A and B are shown apart, each in its own frame.
Chain A
Amino acid sequence: NAGVTQTPKFQVLKTGQSMTLQCAQDMNHEYMSWYRQDPGMGLRLIHYSVGAGITDQGEVPNGYNVSRSTTEDFPLRLLSAAPSQTSVYFCASSYTKSGNTIYFGEGSWLTVV
């Protein structure tokens, strides 16, 4: 997972609190994305970005906000945390050209109580 760095690794939030999960990559990848993984389910796409200044929604975007001001960084914001957002969050990046694959960070474990 070299190259994609997520912080924090663990976080406990109270319902209604806001927080930002940080993600940075040093591979000059155009594409970055956020996924969440819940028990018994595969990873689901929250938001993605194909370049600085461009973001779009994935499969499960509600309750999350993103921005892409630089190529390197793609923070994920929880505006008002809910227990349903308790999950493991993975940031990923890749080149956008054909045939390339996505590289994932190590994950951020979030618990909302």
Chain B
Amino acid sequence: DQQVKQNSPSLSVQEGRISILNCDYTNSMFDYFLWYKKYPAEGPTFLISISSIKDKNEDGRFTVFLNKSAKHLSLHIVPSQPGDSAVYFCAASPGQGAQKLVFGQGTRLTINP
């Protein structure tokens, strides 16, 4: 039973345009959500997070939106840059800290020049 789902295995976006990565979850107990970025042969690196008491969080080019009623979150990257090409994982936690994360399958983002 996949509690966190990223239904798009891959996404290709032109440099300078907006990248939108989507994530759905099923467990109502999740109340802290994170996005991680992963390059090949490296560990995941933290990108941005959002608590369930918010519906939006921004950090530079990255914005995460949370729609609790739809159990959906999305990551917007604008403008997209070649260095953004990586696998992006959505993760959820049942507590306000980031322990016991449940991850989605990941979306491979490719930014084309």
Closest partner residue, chain A, to B47 (CB atom): A101
A48:B100 contact, CB within 8 angstroms: yes
**Could you mark each residue 42-66 of chain B with 1 if its beta carbon is under 8 Å from any beta carbon of chain A, else 0?**
1111100101000000000000000
In this complex, the interface size class of chain B, counting residues with CB under 8 Å from chain A, is: 20 to 34
B43:A98 contact, CB within 8 angstroms: no
* Overall SS of chain B's interface: loop
B45:A94 contact, CB within 8 angstroms: no
Closest partner residue, chain A, to B5 (CB atom): A42
User: Given A103-B46, A104-B43: A48 and B96 within 8 A (CB)?
Assistant: no
Chain A residue contacts of B97, Cβ below 8 A: 31, 94-100
Chain A residue contacts of B103, Cβ below 8 A: 35, 42-44
A107 to B91, CA, bound (A): 18
Closest partner residue, chain A, to B99 (CB atom): A31
Interface residues of A (CB under 8 A from B): 1, 4, 31, 33, 35, 40-45, 48, 50, 58-59, 90, 94-107
Interface residues of B (CB under 8 A from A): 4, 6, 9, 34, 36, 41-46, 49, 51, 89, 91, 95-106
